[in-house]
Amino acid sequence: MKPSPLRGTAVTARVGLALGVAVAVCFLTGLISHFIQHPQPWFFWPTRPVWLYRVTQGLHVISGIAAIPLLVVKLWSVWPKLFERPILGGPVRALERLSILVLVAAMLFQLSTGLLNTAQWYAFEFFFTTSHYAMAWVAAGAVVVHIGVKLPVIRRALGEPLDDATAGGSGGPSRRTVLVGTGLAVALATAVTAGQTIPWLRRVSVLAPRSGQGPQGVPVNRSAVAAGVLRSARSPKYRLTVTHGSTTRAFTIADLAAMPQATHQLPISCVEGWSANAEWTGVVLADLVAAVGAPPDSDVRMISLEPPGPYSRTVLPARHARDSQTLIALRLNGEVLDLDHGYPCRLIAPTRPGVLQTKWLSRIEVV
């Protein structure tokens, strides 16, 4: 059995180029999401357009899923090289093989853990976010090394015509067919999953982890049951406490509802790649900050009724805290906030990952 004439650098380089673009988009959008969640002094993240994070994180998952068929075809096109002799040879060849193993293993790690995370299936026994982030650097580095090693081959292959070899005579597929077929597979993979963030694809996204349905027309990531807030959120003793230094004010739900209300269309965009636009009504956060006499350019800490955990308290940077569209929402799509959406009140700010839009707020501290 000899290798198919369809395999070869002409196909590998072209599919590799597309894969490189997908990986670059995935890596950069992933870094954006990481630095929003782990802010650095040099990192700037704007509040407009309000759908910015929806787009970057949607792209992160879409480009990652698009990379799956591209990687399948790319590996298919080079697979016979695995058995080329000498298997190891000298130190240079051994090193090259090792770099390929790192590249393939890191890429498969990223795509498999990322895909499993979108479906909340934690089959692996390590923490997803930190290992996915660390391995992203390994994969990115391995891609750059690989491009460096193969640069002359890539240049030659892309400069030459496709040289249309055909498998099994004139009736079989050509190299062009391989490229067109790969493009179709990428389009199909996108169509069957991207509806979780692109509404008009919802009906055809038959393999998307979310249909887009949920209480009040919005999906939920963490339920009130999982957060353990069923009793505290419905308690008649509930108060939202807002503090700034020694100034403390406590608001009942009626107090909040009596304040000036604002309504905005804002997306809720999850790190897992789903998003939905919704109409939120509530108190502008800046009004609450002003109510305790705090300056508008302060960071604000949001603390949930949820017992202490990784996302039960978050810090909202000053730029977002003073934004006129940042709300402490009491209503969603015209109804009182569902318990699973954060009743009695929750944070909703533009361009922020859903995981940082703290639900079941109990305390707001101006830092």
Site for another protein in 105-144 (CB under 8 A): 105-106, 108-109, 112-113, 115-116, 118-127, 130-131, 133-144
Say whether residue 168 binds another protein (CB under 8 A): yes
Q: How far is the CB of 38 from another protein (least distance, A)?
A: 12
Give how many residues touch another protein by CB under 8 A: 94
Say whether residue 43 binds another protein (CB under 8 A): no
| Residue 25 structure tokens | 């988009």
List the interface residues with another protein, window 247-286 (CB under 8 A).
Answer: none
Options 60, 146, 264, 322; binder of another protein; rule CB under 8 A: 146
- Which residues is 363 bridged to in the sheet? 241, 303
Alpha-carbon distance of 99 to 113, in angstroms, equals: 21
Q: How far is the CB of 276 from another protein (least distance, A)?
A: 10
Residue closer to another protein by CB (options 60, 222) is: 222
Buried b / exposed e over 295-318, threshold 16 CB at 10 Å, is: eeebebbbbbbbeeeebbbbebbb
Residue closer to another protein by CB (options 111, 321) is: 111
Q: Which part of the chain contacts another protein (CB under 8 A), choosing from 205-213, 312-320, 350-358, 359-367?
A: 205-213
Options 145, 262, 278, 336; binder of another protein; rule CB under 8 A: 145
Q: Are 165 and 8 in contact (CB under 8 A)?
A: yes
Q: What is the 3-state secondary structure (H, E, C) of 224-268?
A: HHHHCCHHHHHCCCCCEEEEECCEEEEECHHHHHHCCCEEEEEEE
Options 210, 320, 322, 331; binder of another protein; rule CB under 8 A: 210
Say whether residue 166 binds another protein (CB under 8 A): yes
- On the CB side of 241, how many CA atoms lie within 13 Å of its CA? 14
Alpha-carbon distance of 64 to 68, in angstroms, equals: 7
Residue closer to another protein by CB (options 28, 149) is: 149
Locate all alpha helices (DSSP H) within the chain, ordered by sequence. Answer: 9-37, 52-78, 91-118, 128-159, 175-191, 224-227, 230-234, 253-258, 285-291, 318-321
Residue closer to another protein by CB (options 189, 256) is: 189
DSSP H or E run through 110? helix 91-118
Options 17, 31, 55, 75; binder of another protein; rule CB under 8 A: 75
- Which residues is 284 bridged to in the sheet? 327
Options 41, 86, 91, 148; binder of another protein; rule CB under 8 A: 148
Say whether residue 98 binds another protein (CB under 8 A): no
